[in-house]
Amino acid sequence: MELCFEGLVKNYGRKQALKGIDLTLTPGIYGLLGPNGAGKSTLMNILTGNLEQTRGRITFDGRDIRALGPAFRGRLGYCPQQPAFYPTFTADEFLFYMASLHGMDRKAAKARIPWALGLLSLARVRHEPIGGFSGGMKQRLLIAAALIHDPDILVLDEPTAGLDPEQRIAVRNLIGRVALDKIVILSTHVVPDVEFIAKELILLDRGQVLCQQTPEALLKAMAGQVWSLTVDEDQVEAAQSLGQVCGIARAGDQVAIRLLTPTPPKGAVEAASTLDDVYLRFFGPEAGL
Amino acid sequence: MRYEWKKLLAQVQICLLLLGVLVGNGIWFFLRCTQDLGGYTMAQIRQVYAAPDTLEADIALLEDPTAAPPLRYTQRPWAELALLTVARDRIAAARDYDAFRQGLVDDAALKERLGLLGPADSFEARSLKRGQAAYEALAGVTPEPVFQGGMEVLLTDRGMDLALGVAVLAGALVLTTLERRSGGMVLSRPTRRGRAALFRRKWAVLACLTGAVWAALLLTDLAVAAGTLGLGAWTQPIQGVYGFEACPAPLSVGGYVAIYALWKLLWALSWAGICLAAGCATGSPILAVLALAAMLGGAWWAGESGNLWLRVFSLTRLARLEELVQSAAYLNWMGTPISRPWTALAVLAGMGILSTLTGLGLFCFLPAVPRKFRWSLPLPRAPRHTNLFLWEGRKLFRTQRAALLLFLLALAQVASYVPRGAENTEYGYFYRMYSQILAGDPSPEKDAYLTAEAARLEELTSAFAAAPWDTELYGQLAAEQPFREAQEQYRALKPGQRYLDQTLYRAYFGQEGLRDGLWDLGKAFFVLSLALAGLYPAERESAMTLQLTASGQTRRVRRYKTLWTGILALLTWAVGTLPRLLWAVWTYGPPDLPAQAGAIEGFAWLPDFVSVLALLLSAQLAGLALTVLAAWIVTAFSRPAPTPVPALLLALTVTELPILLLAWGIG
């Protein structure tokens, strides 16, 4: 099973949102990271058919997905960023509706829906209208809907948005569990969401893929880049000019600053790097704003 | 306020609707000014006014069968005669106004002297006296026979009311429902005081919109009237305008036009207040329109009643200022006659203020976001399935409330037709009695019966001539006219035709029947507009289009939606139009289906092979085709609409306006 993006270009008028994306994805979880406006949603919308590319193509096992049509769509599970459901439907009705959209028969749906509802802790509210759900419940329902037909390709756009930390971990683990034999594309701003489950991270900025590597390789490449410097409070401002600040924390009477810089500042000790540091390295401090 | 304007005018479809309303009103008013009044037009009456000297001589020539008709204005003698007669009557009405007025005064004095209206302190006697005083005060008012046709059409036109109503409704729905639906109110004005300030801005924008549309409509109508018929003489007394002869108010035409214009503005502002309140109460454009339709239905019922008090509280009737001033009729306030126009003014202003305050209260106190659990029909939980076609039906009938709307339509139709009985006149009774005897193929026995009955009635007529006091004879002679009609109908049968009792067919195809049929279609179109306007925007508003596209089922879903739209159109047609046919058949008996339809009054032009069954089926199919067309129009507006508001307003305007105008035309 192989999903390839070949020279994918998308223009909005004169603005180029995707500038020739080339990617090859095989079963496993791919974390799609990038700041706002990087082109993540555009890429996902093209994959799910909600946008038409300007140039290039996406192939699934060597065949253009546009030519495959419903045969490809039926193997795709999609959890959109915005809440997409009918408020008057109950959770149960909505999942049966989604099952019918994906061409499942009643027997299969009846077997699968309680599984999905149970997996996402929604069994208790299955007969309640979705309009009354909390943000987290809605988000979990969308994930359940994306999983209902056991798709081969799972596209998750900010799936943990609106979830509390406990639910966030549960969903992360769930994705890790169900994704063993699937191609999962997980778009997020939250780096820890993909830190431990992603097979590879795809860093996207201004419509271009900056790199596609395993988390381990990315972290390895950060060796000698992150430093911890402990200074007095009145020296904080001066210390900030020594590199890109990854974190500031009080350490007793002093202040500990994490700095991202290839040159070790005087008195600094090397710190263990995280994917947040990778994110900052590639997208710069303005990505956080 | 700028942002409120932006919310309103940033929607292209709403702007197009407002533009369409203005243009449509202009076209409608132009057609009213130039319409055929029975062989002649208002412009031709104007021409006759310009040459009044030859009028009497021309009429005499036209009435003389031996003389050559002087066709100065039309090409047909009958139309020329009708035109000249109408013009003469109008000119005479103005010239003889003083005699007419004095006649009213004298008539009142006579009634008072004879004590026809009870004791002197009774309401009837006091209102008569008050009317008499009003007409006496008009002594000295001498309207000149000036052509005032432009003002006559302007002051009695209903198109402006409709156009104003639609524009105001559009503004109110956009301003009150969109934010609440999107949850934007929480962001903008979280406190009650803040919401009150926001409501004031919304009201101000709606009032400005109302004023702008009102001014545009009025100027358009005045320009059209001036261009087609002229504006007349505004310094003349209003009593010189045809239809206003009995107006008891000492007003000039110009003064009355100014009052008319301000009245329309006040009416529109009151309607705006009511629309705002409905929008704030429901938070949903569909429910708001449903509530307003129920309110207008009640207003129409009150307006059609004979009770003057009920009429004065009817918003639809209050739009007709002319009815309040065309005669000296007073309201009974605990035995005291009070002025109708002033009471109506107080009611209209009160309605506007009260509804605006209600809207303000609802806007401030209702939750800023829609209730979490959206209401839907409490139907039992359907068995779970994975049939996409059935899910689309569920969306239409439950989410879009088509089932509820169909149920309400059925209730309305039952309420319209079940209490309605048969035509209960002596004439109708005798006609039906003779028709029962003559029904079917002509035969020698029926011929003989007609001869015998004619002779019997002849004898009765002679006997009554000899004894005109004989009430029994008089009663029996009531059968004479219906008999003549039945006899003529029987004699006029062509070979192959069968005698048909016309009562059923008149009830169905006659003027009343056609008007009822139009109202039924109007109700059906209303249901379709409410049910279908939100069908496609609902996918967009809920972002479900993303899921549909991702699943690759968009086309299939659209196809199923179309199928369900067809099913709904069929059901709406059946619920909306069949009760009238069932009522007619239930009341007057089953139709003679195999008979030739040419024997039905008004259908003599039909070829022989067309049977009554074919005619009835064609009528039903025409109704069905119109219903399907209406459903198609609504979905055509619904498909590209981002929200249900513009789709609903456009659909209502396009499907309901022609029905209303046609129904008025027939009425």
The tens digit of pLDDT for each residue in B466-508 reads 887 888 888 888 889 999 999 999 998 988 899 999 999 988 8
**B401 shares its domain with B434:** no
pLDDT recorded at residue B373: 47
Q: CA of A75: which chain B residue's CA is closest?
A: B551
A239 contacts A251 by C-beta, under 8 angstroms: no
Put simply, the answer to whether B549 touches A50 (Cβ < 8 Å) is yes
CA quadruple A43, A46, A52, A58: dihedral sign:
positive
pLDDT per residue of chain A (289 residues) written in tens, 0 to 9: 899 999 999 999 889 999 999 999 999 999 999 888 889 989 999 999 999 999 999 999 999 999 998 889 989 999 998 889 988 889 999 999 999 999 999 999 999 999 999 988 899 999 888 888 888 889 899 999 999 999 999 999 988 877 888 888 888 888 888 877 899 999 987 788 888 788 899 999 989 999 999 988 988 888 888 888 888 888 888 888 888 888 888 888 888 888 888 888 888 888 888 888 888 888 876 654 4
Inter-CA distances, A253 with A230, A245, A246, A249, A267, Å? 10, 20, 20, 11, 17
pLDDT, tens digit, 9 for 90 and up, residues B123-142: 888 888 898 999 999 888 88
Instruction: Determine the longest span between alpha carbons in chain A, in angstroms.
Output: 69
In a domain, B371, yes or no: no
pLDDT recorded at residue B433: 92
In a domain, B376, yes or no: no
B55 contacts B46 by C-beta, under 8 angstroms: no
- DSSP H helices, chain A, are 40-47, 65-68, 70-73, 91-101, 106-119, 135-147, 165-178, 192-195, 215-220, 236-240, 275-283
Count helices and strands in chain A by DSSP H and E runs: 11, 14
Mutation test of the interface with chain A: which of B381, B385, B390, B547, choosing the one with the most A Cβ atoms within 10 A?
B547
Distance between CA atoms of B141 and A153, rounded to whole angstroms?
A: 89
Instruction: For residues B418-443, give the mean pLDDT.
Output: 88
**B602 shares its domain with B648:** yes
Structural tokens at position B527: 């249901």
Check CB contact of A102 with chain B, cutoff 8 Å. Answer: yes
Last residue of a domain, one of B491, B516, B545: B491
pLDDT recorded at residue A87: 86
Domain span holding position B602? 391-419+502-666
Q: Does the pLDDT value for residue B222 go beyond 60?
A: yes
Nearest to B72 by CA among B53, B89, B91: B53
Mutation test of the interface with chain B: which of A76, A97, A130, choosing the one with the most B Cβ atoms within 10 A?
A97
Write the single-letter amino acid at B120. Answer: A
Lowest mean pLDDT among A235-239, B31-35, B165-169, B236-240: A235-239
Put simply, the answer to whether A73 touches B551 (Cβ < 8 Å) is yes
Distance between CA atoms of B529 and B286, rounded to whole angstroms?
A: 9
Mean pLDDT score of chain B: 88
Question: B166: Cβ–Cβ under 8 A, 6 or more apart, which residues?
Answer: B17, B21, B649, B652, B653, B657
**B6 shares its domain with B50:** no
In a domain, B194, yes or no: yes
Helix (H, G, I), strand (E, B) or coil at B438: helix
**B409 shares its domain with B311:** no
pLDDT recorded at residue B38: 83
Distance between CA atoms of B304 and A259, rounded to whole angstroms?
A: 84
In a domain, B27, yes or no: yes
pLDDT recorded at residue B666: 65
Inter-CA distances, B182 with B282, B284, B607, Å? 14, 11, 60
Span between the terminal Cα atoms of chain A, in Å: 38
**pLDDT tier at B255, thresholds 50, 70, 90:** very high
* Residues of chain A contacting B399 with CB distance shorter than 8 Å: 86, 88-89
pLDDT recorded at residue B183: 63
pLDDT recorded at residue B57: 80
Check CB contact of A78 with chain B, cutoff 8 Å. Answer: yes
Write the single-letter amino acid at B585. Answer: V
pLDDT recorded at residue B197: 87
Last residue of a domain, one of B491, B516, B548: B491
Structural tokens at position B187: 């962001």
Residues A238-263, buried b or exposed e (16+ Cβ, 10 A)? ebeebbbbbbeeeeeeebebbbbbee
**B346 shares its domain with B474:** no
* Residues of chain A contacting B404 with CB distance shorter than 8 Å: none
Q: Which of B130-139, B277-286, B405-414, B459-468 has the highest mean pLDDT?
A: B405-414
Q: Does the pLDDT value for residue B69 go beyond 90?
A: no
pLDDT, tens digit, 9 for 90 and up, residues B537-579: 999 988 999 999 999 999 999 999 999 999 999 999 999 999 9
Put simply, the answer to whether A127 touches B381 (Cβ < 8 Å) is yes
Q: CA of A91: which chain B residue's CA is closest?
A: B384
Distance between CA atoms of B304 and B312, rounded to whole angstroms?
A: 11
Number of domains in chain B: 4
**B17 shares its domain with B46:** no
Residue ranges with strand state E in B147-221: none
Nearest to A193 by CA among A149, A225, A157, A140: A157
Q: For the sheet with A63-64, list strands across it.
A: A15-25, A3-12, A55-60, A63-64
In a domain, B192, yes or no: yes
How many Å lie between the alpha carbon of B600 and the closest alpha carbon of chain A? Answer: 52
Put simply, the answer to whether B386 touches A105 (Cβ < 8 Å) is yes
How many Å lie between the alpha carbon of B225 and the closest alpha carbon of chain A? Answer: 49
**B442 shares its domain with B411:** no
Put simply, the answer to whether A49 touches B550 (Cβ < 8 Å) is yes
**B214 shares its domain with B357:** yes
Percent with pLDDT over 90 in chain B: 51
Q: CA of B535: which chain A residue's CA is closest?
A: A86
pLDDT recorded at residue A105: 93
**B536 shares its domain with B598:** yes
In a domain, B383, yes or no: no
From chain B, which residues contact A within 8 Å (Cβ)? 372-374, 376, 381, 384-388, 391, 394-395, 398-399, 538, 542-553, 557
Distance between CA atoms of B26 and B222, rounded to whole angstroms?
A: 10
Instruction: For residues B508-529, give the mean pLDDT.
Output: 92
In a domain, B149, yes or no: no
Check CB contact of A51 with chain B, cutoff 8 Å. Answer: no
- Domains belonging to chain A, first-starting first, are 3-219 (3.40.50.300), 224-272 (no CATH)
**B533 shares its domain with B458:** no
**B250 shares its domain with B356:** yes
**B456 shares its domain with B526:** no
Nearest to B547 among A88, A93, A101 (CB): A101
In a domain, B380, yes or no: no
Instruction: For residues B288-298, give the mean pLDDT.
Output: 92
